[in-house]
Amino acid sequence: MSSEEVPVPASSPSVGGVKEKALIPPTQTSKEKICVLGAGSFGTAIASMLARNNHDVTILDRNEMRVKSINESHTNPDYLVGVALPSNLRATTSATDALTGAAYVFHAIPIQVSKKFLSQYTDLIAPTVPIVSMSKGIHCETLQFMNDIISEVFGEEQLSAYLSGPSFAKEIVLGMPTGFVLASTDVALAQRVGALISDDRRVRVWTTDDVVGVEVGGALKNVYAIAAGAVEGVGLGYNPTALVVTRGCSEIKKLAVKLGARPETLSGLSGIGDLMLTCFGPASRNRSVGVRIGRGESLQDVLVSMNEVAEGVPTIQAAHTLATKLHMLDQLPLLKAVHQVVHEGYPIPGILDGLMAIPVSEED
């Protein structure tokens, strides 16, 4: 076992033999002050989960009406409508209030605006205060992942971790059993953050030091969810949908490994786990974008009608650019095809053309 791996107790389950290490939920975790940046669906869900674990949790959000509703009626009027939030969860528009004294900061702002957003708070978040990123994607202009953005904004010494895995926000708030993977190059930090999140009945955390693998898996699954949704929406059937999802997983792994990830990470929760949920789950925003495009709606009309960001749309462009720079585009025919459909106006059945034209070869 390498020095970077966290040992798994004999009683702990494994996940497909990958290097995600099980974290046994503690019987008691000390109460911590935690700030969650952003009151969208996922930020609200994670804040609720942390508050349910009896932590002192404050959501920092710019919308005064949303903050008032969370504090007074314990509901988010814009996201997770009608779902009751823990009574001990509060929200504020004051960064000083939310961040001063916080032991942990959970980041749930879309990646395309994260650099500008985080740059406002460099004086309020010390390098020793861990930032736990839940944002998934690739920045269109810089081709950065969240790990790159956090390091650029706060410096290389900033403590950070990256939360991913198959997890719909509403199901988290409702307390349905959910598994996460938490990535950090600081193994002790991953264990500490995992202990904040875990409980004995509803939440299970696995840790890994493969930050690159977790970030690439979390970003690219949205791209292939749009492809799977488009195939479904145009009525091509279940066979090609399964084909898209399976080969999409292969393409994600190829790109991740090229960027330095371990291939087995993409067989875990942040890879195939998140991909499956996002491609087949009816609550998936990115899948819904694909389905609606497949049924004939324009991309612009679809996006205008949504009250949350579908990160897969800008990530398609960013991933296409990244693959081109890495001279990998020919190895990623699905990525190339979904870019043609979403950003170049090609007909949706063309998503399958590149796959079907591949000569008989050994499966990779």
- CA 40, 43, 45, 48 dihedral sign is negative
Which 3 state secondary structure label does DSSP give 118?
helix
221 flagged as catalytic: yes
| Angle subtended by helix axes 238-258 and 211-233, to nearest 10 | 160
Instruction: Let me know if 357 is exposed, middle or buried by CB neighbors in 10 A (0-12, 13-18, 19+).
Output: exposed
In the block, which residue shows the tokens 């930032």? 131
Dist. CA 297–CA 324, nearest whole Å: 29
Dist. CA 218–CA 24, nearest whole Å: 24
Q: Which residues 6+ apart lie within 8 Å of 272 measured at CB? A: 16, 249, 266
Q: Which residues 6+ apart lie within 8 Å of 310 measured at CB? A: 222, 226, 285, 286, 288, 289, 303
Instruction: Let me know if 71 is exposed, middle or buried by CB neighbors in 10 A (0-12, 13-18, 19+).
Output: middle
Residue type, 170: K
Which 3 state secondary structure label does DSSP give 226?
helix
* DSSP-assigned beta bridge partners for residue 106: 36, 132
Give the residue from 349, 245, 253, 347 showing the smallest Cα distance to 287. Answer: 245
CB atoms within 10 A of CB 214: 33
- Which stretch of DSSP H or E encloses residue 182? strand 178-183
* Alpha-carbon 31 to chain mean position: 26
Instruction: Let me know if 38 is exposed, middle or buried by CB neighbors in 10 A (0-12, 13-18, 19+).
Output: buried
Residue among 221, 253, 254, 336 flagged as catalytic:
221
List residues with catalytic annotation: 221
